[in-house]
Amino acid sequence: MSAKEVKEKILVIDDEPSIRKYLQTLLEVDGFDVEAVSSGREGIEKITAGERPDFIILDVLMPELSGIDTLKELMQIDRGLNVIMLSCSNEVGTVVEAIRIGAHDYLTKPFEKTELDAAMLKSRQKKQLVTENLALRDYCEQITEDISFLAASPQMVRIRQQILQIAPVDVPVFICGESGVGKEVVARMIHLRSKRRSQPFIKVNCAALPGELLESELFGFEQGAFTGAVRAKPGKFEMANKGTIFLDEIAEMTTHLQAKLLHVLQDHQYSRLGGRHLVETDVRVLAATNVDVQEAMKTGRFREDLYYRLNVLSINVPPLRERTSEIPLLFRHFLQKYSEKFGKTPQGPSKYLLDAAVNYPWPGNLRELENFVKRYVILEDDEGSLRELVEMSSARQRTSPRAEPAVHREPQGLKALVRGLKDEAEMEAIADALEKTRWCRKDAAKMLGISYKALLYKMRQFNLDTPRTRRASVPAPAAAVEEPTTIGIGGRNE
């Protein structure tokens, strides 16, 4: 811990002077600011006076006020206190009770320094989890039983304000954004915050049906309107009457249908296919697209007059790579969702995995992240998920047109080509891991899921000795360097 950093404070409560001295020495060497008192009462006084140590190490067996009674009083003052109990091996029942009351962990005397470190690390993680869950509650709004709206970045907080502002105003809304950014969630939230909330919300995917079928789907048909129309059927506009219709992927609609829709928006009436009567409609239209509408209008694929009719208000949902500050919370949110759904209790995510998730560009946006977390919950393999991300990142870098061609694409045997590509991917993944861990080789090896020795070998092979040589080109097939074991990012090698 550097001198500039604020030291973490630890309060030791133990009646045995030798234990107090031992803990004080041990923890001060590690850079903690330690205070030790000899009774529960003294400890409680300090907390009552407003002191909030980062950790409290509390002995179970003490004369006068016992550890358990001290813990009860401490928890009454502040349930957020981070308490680690010190017990003897014959006090199992007491330890269980202490955890139930609110202690984070326990150590059995005599204990090793590594056990103390592990208990503090666990306790720190637990505290962080509680803080993150509280943050989740602050930022996440439950819209329906299975849809939530999380808005933690400045852009999304603004969008949430926009939604709340425009939801009660009964005009069309045009929602734009890349695939998977949350356009449907926005649409549902607009409906549920509007006066139409108790009426139907009908979603129509305009890309899912060819022109004529979509027309009959939207406006319905009379019996005999076309071959096969044996019975009259109401359309989605009729079903959505008094409620909201959500026209997803509207740019995929044929221009003929766009013209019909424009009339419906203007006159609030239309007729079913093959019908002679006009049907009155009172529907709020929300439309969404992931294509560049300006471009679609230029090429005549999307009618300008329809666009201006629909675009009374618009919401542009940014891609996830432009709101990376939300990724840890979204990760936690999806983790909670799928842990409950699959009845699992995953430990992580580890710091490495979260860092990698924050750095990955998520081309499929929230949907891709959600599926990734779903897999993470099912497989319960932090290292495996991390490897998956590292591989996806390097695959993207390889296929990105801006990536330097590290492998010369001269005519060569297939084996050599594959080997070259594999080396290139490995080098990129290793260089990335080293950069992300600030060249801490131990952490980088952990991040990549390979042994320290294997990492050193690979670094030598790829000339990755210092940050300066980072983008060294992939050397010729590594025949010159003896490979100690089979190593590959994607397979474990201890």
Ligand X SMILES: Nc1ncnc2c1ncn2[C@@H]1O[C@H](COP(=O)(O)OP(=O)(O)OP(=O)(O)O)[C@@H](O)[C@H]1O
Provide the binding-site residues for ligand X, judged by CB under 6 A.
147-150, 177, 179-185, 290, 366-367, 370
180 binds, among Mg ion, ligand X, none (CB under 5 to 8 A by kind): ligand X
Least Å from the CB of residue 180 to ligand X: 4
Question: Is 23 or 317 the residue whose CB approaches ligand X more closely?
Answer: 317
Q: If DSSP codes are grouped into helix, strand and coil, which group holds residue 105?
A: strand
- 247 forms beta bridges with 204, 287
Three-state helix/strand/coil letters over 15-40: CCHHHHHHHHHHHHHCCCEEEEECCH
Residue nearest to ligand X (CB): 182
Q: Tell me the window of 131-139, 179-187, 350-358, 450-458 that interacts with Mg ion (CB under 5 A).
A: 179-187
Question: Is 250 or 264 the residue whose CB approaches ligand X more closely?
Answer: 250
Least Å from the CB of residue 317 to ligand X: 7
Least Å from the CB of residue 199 to ligand X: 21
Which residue in this structure is represented by tokens 């779903």? Answer: 374
Q: Cβ(11)–Cβ(57) under 8 Å? A: yes
Does residue 184 belong to the site contacting Mg ion (CB under 5 A)? yes
Q: Cβ(58)–Cβ(86) under 8 Å? A: yes
Q: Strand (E) positions, 232-292?
A: 244-248, 269-270, 279-280, 284-289
Dihedral of CA atoms 334, 208, 362, 401 in degrees, nearest 10, equals 170
Least Å from the CB of residue 204 to ligand X: 12
Q: Cβ(374)–Cβ(334) under 8 Å? A: yes
Position 65: which residue type? L
Does residue 368 belong to the site contacting Mg ion (CB under 5 A)? no
33 vs 56: CA distance, rounded Å: 12
Question: Is 301 or 419 the residue whose CB approaches ligand X more closely?
Answer: 301
Least Å from the CB of residue 207 to ligand X: 9
Question: Is 187 or 296 the residue whose CB approaches Mg ion more closely?
Answer: 187
185 binds, among ligand X, Mg ion, none (CB under 5 to 8 A by kind): ligand X
194 binds, among Mg ion, ligand X, none (CB under 5 to 8 A by kind): none
Least Å from the CB of residue 397 to Mg ion: 29
Q: Cβ(273)–Cβ(219) under 8 Å? A: yes
Residue 48 structure tokens: 């009552």
Question: Is 185 or 464 the residue whose CB approaches ligand X more closely?
Answer: 185
Contact residues toward Mg ion (CB under 5 A) are: 184
